[in-house]
Structure 1
Amino acid sequence: MSDSFELTVLDVIKETDNACSVVLDPGEHKELFQYTPGQFLTVAVPSDRTGLVARSYSLSSTPVDDGPLTITVKRTADGYASGWICNELRAGDTLRVLPPAGIFTPKNLDADLLLFAGGSGITPVMSIIRTALARGTGQIVLFYANQDDRSVIFADALAGLAAEHPDRLQVVHWLESVQGLPSEDQIRAFAAQYVDRDAFVCGPAPFMALTVAALKELEFPRERRHQEKFVSLGGNPFETDAEREPGADDDEDDVTEAPAPTGPAAHLLVDLDGQDYEFNDWKPGTTILEHLESKGIKAPYSCREGECSACAVRLLEGEVTMRANDVLEEEDLAEGIRLGCQSEAATEKVRVTYS
């Protein structure tokens, strides 16, 4: 289990009829909750059926002002967690949270940015905009698609930023109620004006798919094309072995364990938070995350099941095999990105970086 922390809720702000922002005070854990724009928090939501459920929500605040953390949550149809957060959470309550994670973040805040957001996909994009305007020098264009004007999250904040930075920020709203759903051709025509920029895409799966397809057709290189994906967590990163309810799989008479993998230990080199680690005893069948944890090193992760990118590493030398992968695309893999919670050694020497 990754270390989780109880943060105090300072405020719950109604953004639209179906979205709210939760302002959190990191308190004494301020250093652990430093983040980069575009990252997310994984929170524990109490559940009558399962004790709690884990959900990931992007940070919409900026780290520039060293202020409180803010996540923005859109209520989904029949969504238990989002409904509980928007309906039940109040100032003064506490929320159990894992430290920030995610790789949907600009490497260079001075770069010119082309941002695409659909609905609540504006959340990490808003953090990127706020931070880039405060710390960077580049030009920013936002294409923001919503169902109607009542569903536009951060409408006033975006208008204020555009008025404050008219020479740097351009916001283009697309309303389905007025223009219909945007097509791939329309997005491609829009993006064609900005082919030299770094593109970031976040929103519903269909919106992201057609936007990424348009960018690919315009030959945006992979290193300048980024998309954020969230998969509902199948596991529970807050759960300890003691908290896990016993079931049939815990009955020793009914379980035949596979033999542990055998073979020579691998040589693992890791760059994490600016510090280098080197090991000659990385056991077969053990993931990078598991090995680091066995050494008392706290490496990032969230779902532990290959369903998010919180544990992503970049492969610098050697090769690994992944037990599961529901989030990385072929182009991500070609770029050397791997999931630390799923990666086992496939060569005698492996070198990775978390940066």
Structure 2
Amino acid sequence: MRCLAAWDETHDVRSFLLAPEDGGRIAYSPGQFITLRVPGPDGEPVERCYTLSSSAAGERTATITVKKKPGGVLSGHLHATLTPGTSIEVFGPSGQFGPAAVDEKYLLLSAGSGVTPMLSVIRTAADLGIDLDATFLHAARTEHDLIARDDLAAFARRLPRLRLLTVASRANGTWAGERGRLDTGVLGRLVSDLASRTVLCCGPEGFMAAMREACLALGVAPNRYFEESFDFGEVEVEVPADGPLHRITFAKSGKTFDCPENLTILQAARLAGVPMPSSCAKGVCGTCKCMKTSGSVDMNHGGGIRDREVARGFILPCSSRPLSDIVLDR
């Protein structure tokens, strides 16, 4: 995709307007994300997932909103080099986080850069004339860390049942909104009808863990609480001392390694020191997608691959355990 425009949202958050280089369309749903890939410092590719913050009503462009993290390889790279006219490799859109039905009542609950999927939900509803019944509660450090503050105020005028609430933990003396940290007591006081709402939550892992506990304590049904998270972490795997091994072969590079049946192909590749592109490692983002030219696998993915792609022979190595020797078109 090519960057068409870039602008600062706050002192450390920048938005980038992207469009397919071939002039095609990019169709997505509110809450979906794309995966960006750039060359890393050691020459190996670095991938990160970023939720689209733009309205899904249009299909010509898409916007990501990126917080520059201290030591962040890709976020720092984007802030420094992704300028109008430059291009970047993109996978997706992927993911299933977002409102499932327009006639439900929602609590959009976010902190920091977790605001991005909520912006897409609100912008899409405004552009499509959806009468969205939503309370949007956002936690920020200070009023200067609020992303798209003016835009949200404008959308509230277009969406009569949208209620905007902000909690600032370190606001200065001029801040007229809620102060302090968002906890169970504050949440229950600000959203008195919380138990009747479906909750979409996004933010740092600690924030989401606290909000998950608070929402369930305040009566939200577990099947009506949803999170979006890209903090996938490292998953420890147990390599069996014996048992069947299947040979995995990369047809183009000639690399081979053995994979036990209880490991995914991606896990075995990492243990063997064979680099493979990946981001979520949970079958969601589709970054590792590749063609399987022979062999059979047991694949249990999270939505990062379409049925028609599977029918053509594509697999997600992060979600595929071998049932035989495998050849991949890599």
Is TM > 0.5 for Structure 1 vs Structure 2?
Answer: yes
- Kindly tell me the number of residue pairs found equivalent between the two proteins: 268
Q: Alpha carbons of 1:82 and 1:305: their partners in 2 closer, same or farther (altered >3 Å)? A: same
Indicate conservation of the 8 Å contact 1:54/1:233, yes or no: no
Partners of 2:126 and 2:105 in 1: how far apart?
11
Give the TM-score normalised by structure 1.
0.66
Q: Give the match for residue 199 of structure 1.
A: 199
Q: Residue 82 of structure 1 aligns to a residue in which SS?
A: helix
**Change in CA separation of 1:258 and 1:98 when aligned onto 2, cut-off 3 Å:** closer
Shift of 1:83: 0.9
Query: Which residue of 2 is the match for residue 187 of structure 1?
Result: 187
- Secondary structure in structure 2 of the residue aligned to 1:223: helix
Structure 2: which amino acid aligns with 1:211?
A: M
Tell me by how many angstroms 1:56 deviates.
Answer: 0.6
Q: Deviations over 1:196-253 (max 9, x none)?
A: 1221000111111111111111232233211101026879xxxxx6998x9xxx6x8x
Out of 173, 183, 190, the residue aligned to residue 166 of structure 2 is 173
RMSD value, Cα? 3.5
Offset from partner CA, 1:244-300 (integer Å, 9 cap, x none): 8x9xxx6x8xx7x367x5xxxxxxxxxxxxxxxxxxxxxx9889xxxxxxxxxxxxx
Identical columns (%): 29
Q: CA deviation at 1:192?
A: 3.7
For residues 30-49 of structure 1, the aligned pairs below 5 Å read 30-31=24-25, 33-49=26-42
What's the secondary structure of 2:93's corresponding residue? Answer: coil
Unaligned runs of 5+ residues in structure 2 are: 172-178, 236-249, 266-276, 287-296, 303-315, 324-330
**Pick aligned residue for 2:279 from 290, 293, 303:** 303
Partner of 2:156: 162
SS of aligned partner of 2:88: strand
Aligned-residue offset at 1:309? 3.2
Instruction: Please state how far the C-alpha of 1:18 moved relative to its aligned partner.
Output: 0.3
* 1:66 Cα deviation from its structure 2 partner: 3.1
Distance 2:206 2:264 in 1: 36
1:16 aligns with 2:16: no
SS at match of 1:21: strand
Given the two structures, how large is their TM-score scaled by the length of structure 2? 0.71
Aligned ranges 1:1-355 → 2 under 5 Å = 7-28=1-22, 30-31=24-25, 33-135=26-128, 136-165=130-159, 167-178=160-171, 179-231=179-231, 257=258, 303=279, 305-306=281-282, 309-310=284-285, 341-342=318-319
**Is contact 2:36–2:91 with CA below 8 Å preserved after alignment?**
yes
> 2:104·2:133 contact (CA, 8 Å) conserved in 1?
yes
SS of the aligned residue for 1:127 comes to helix
In the TM superposition, residue 344 of structure 1 has moved relative to its aligned partner by: 5.5
